[in-house]
Structure 1
Amino acid sequence: MSDKKIVPFATSALSKKEQVATMFNDIAHRYDFLNHFMSLGIDIQWRKKALKQLKALQPKKMLDVATGTGDFAIMANKMLQPDTITGIDISEGMLSHGREKINKLGLNNKITLQLGDSETISFPDKTFDAITVAYGVRNFEHLEKGLSEMLRVLKPGGKLVILEFSNPTVFPIKQLYNLYFRYITPLIGKWIAKSEAAYTYLPESVKAFPQGQEMCNILTNTGFQAVTCKKLTFGISSIYCGSR
């Protein structure tokens, strides 16, 4: 459930939010590479499938929460062609890498990345047509608070799309996944990103995060309507959608 306090650095006195920001600042330089490397590139297809959920809506003004280095925002701009996308994240290290990418692509007039917290979103009510979060909600310190804030800044008829890791339940995928996540992932993190803690936190945070119907219930209880869950690749990732 969302009140389980899984944190990156167990002995740290910092809050989960502060620890997550520190962790992502530490690994920002290798984050994009590791995402694609550890998922064998499948994460790109998962992201495309998530954004396809917004095709019919044709959103003009989008918010990408926990935007990191802006990968999802850049893909959303290409696929959906909204007028503007604002990306927010608590890690300045990740954002600075993202701004470099956006600048190189000449997208400064379309995508803006800024320091921001999912639990206190600094925009007025009913601002955005669509909100996206890719692999970020499990890092929220208070899940329901973050979801409530996203609902608040979503326009009536607007849509939230969340892409998040989940735990597969099918044999032998479940066993292989657990083996890979528990033993291989931290080693890769230690070797490439020089941060074993970050990639030990990853499987623990996924395991503790509410999934499937439980996550759908949380979204519904927060006030989202027409909530759905779509499993991807034997349940390794899931797409959650909800409308205001």
Structure 2
Amino acid sequence: MEVSPREKAERVRRMFAEIAPRYDLLNRLLSFGADLRWRRRAVALALEKNPGRILDLATGTGDLALMLKRKAPTAQVVGADFALPMLEIARRKARAQGLAVEFLEADALSLPFPQGSFEAITIAFGFRNFADYRKALFELRRVLAPGGRLVILEFPPPPRGVFGLVYRIYFQRLLPFLGGVVSGSFGAYRYLPESVEAFPPPEALKGMMEEAGFKVRYELLTFGVAAIHIGDLEAWSTR
């Protein structure tokens, strides 16, 4: 039975609220620490043009937003998410680390920011949870300033070959079990491989971003387990 965009959004919101307390621990354990390397690469790409205003969308518990602020202390960094329990953890982490990052509740399909508000936008492992990918990309383009950059770090469908087969077994069978045991939410970690299998492959996502007006390239990380898409707007881009 097909789920409507609104139902999908509400399901994802509830799911991330449930797993918020163990979210950071599980990210480290289930990726064997690789997610930190992937995030550092996303941060480096997002900061290449020295942006002064940065939005980290689907910020979750704020890891990427805080990394951005540490690397670019003079930049204004905003973290946005629609799961309040995640944002509460992000705010506590920012206070503990003495970092001035604003965290606020927002819907990716209808962002509460004026046109051209940010010079860089990052999304780490949250884009696939959006209810409408194309609508989200046009909304991201709206709030990105001309000459700005969008960086999307995401899990594409598992790669082909022997490594892909081994990874698929881990991702579809072992990961949901371990994630469910640690978090207490087996449904959330069954959703993860389901959402990755249904996500567009890298070339298809590149095409969607180009349709929305971005000049796009992408990098595959760790044999294709993760991918970073970099979308630049021309300085003369109009809306």
Superposition deviation, residue 6 in structure 1: 7.2
Is the CA contact (8 Å cut-off) linking 1:6 and 1:201 kept in structure 2? no
C-alpha separation between the residues in 2 aligned to 1:223 and 1:167?
Answer: 24
**In 1, Cα distance between equivalents of 2:167 and 2:143:** 36
SS at match of 1:27: helix
> Shift in Å at residue 55 of structure 1?
3.3
1:165 pairs with one of 150, 155, 169:
155
Q: Does 1:151 align with 2:144?
A: no
What does the per-residue CA deviation read over 1:121-142, in whole Å, with 9 as the maximum and x for residues that have no partner? 0000001010000000000001
- TM-score, normalised by the number of residues in structure 2: 0.93
Distance 1:80 1:172 in 2: 40
In the alignment, the residues of structure 2 paired with residue 6 and residue 161 of structure 1 have an alpha-carbon distance, to the nearest angstrom, of: 28
Q: Give the unaligned 5+ runs of structure 1.
A: 8-12
Task: Identify the range of structure 1 (45-54 vs 86-95) with the bigger mean alpha-carbon deviation.
Answer: 45-54
Question: TM-score normalized by structure 1?
Answer: 0.91
Look up the equivalent residue of 2:125 and give its one-letter code.
Answer: Y
- Residue of structure 2 equivalent to 1:39: 31
Q: 1:243 aligns with which of 209, 232, 235?
A: 232
3-state SS of paired residue (1:175) = helix
Q: Which residue of 1 aligns with 2:217?
A: 228
2:194 aligns with 204
CA RMSD in angstroms, aligned pairs only: 1.7
| SS of aligned partner of 2:161 | coil
User: Deviation per CA, 1:76-98, whole angstroms, max 9, x where unpaired?
Assistant: 11223342111110100100011
1:203–1:126 distance in 2 versus 1, CA, 3 Å? same
Look up the SS of the partner of 2:231 in the other structure. Answer: strand
Equivalent of 1:217 in 190, 207, 211:
207
Distance 1:136 1:79 in 2: 22
CA contact (8 A) 2:57 2:108 kept: yes
Match of 2:75 in 1: 83
Gaps of 5+ in 2: 234-239
1:136–1:164 contact (8 Å) kept in structure 2: yes
User: Which segment is superposed worse, 80-89 or 28-37?
Assistant: 80-89
Runs of 4+ in 1 over 6 A off after TM superposition: none
Structure 2 SS opposite 1:229: strand
Q: Distance in 2 between the 1:6 and 1:32 partners?
A: 28
Aligned-residue sequence identity (percent) comes to 39
- For 1:66 and 1:209, locate their aligned partners in 2 and report how far apart those are by CA, in whole Å: 16
Other-structure match for 1:187:
177
**Kept in 2: contact 1:135–1:164 (CA 8 A):** yes
Partner secondary structure for residue 234 of structure 1 = coil
Tell me, in whole angstroms, the C-alpha distance in 2 between the residues paired with 1:101 and 1:54: 22
Distance 1:72 1:115 in 2: 16
Correspondence 1:119 to 2:119: no
Aligned residues: 233
CA shift for structure 1 position 106: 1.3
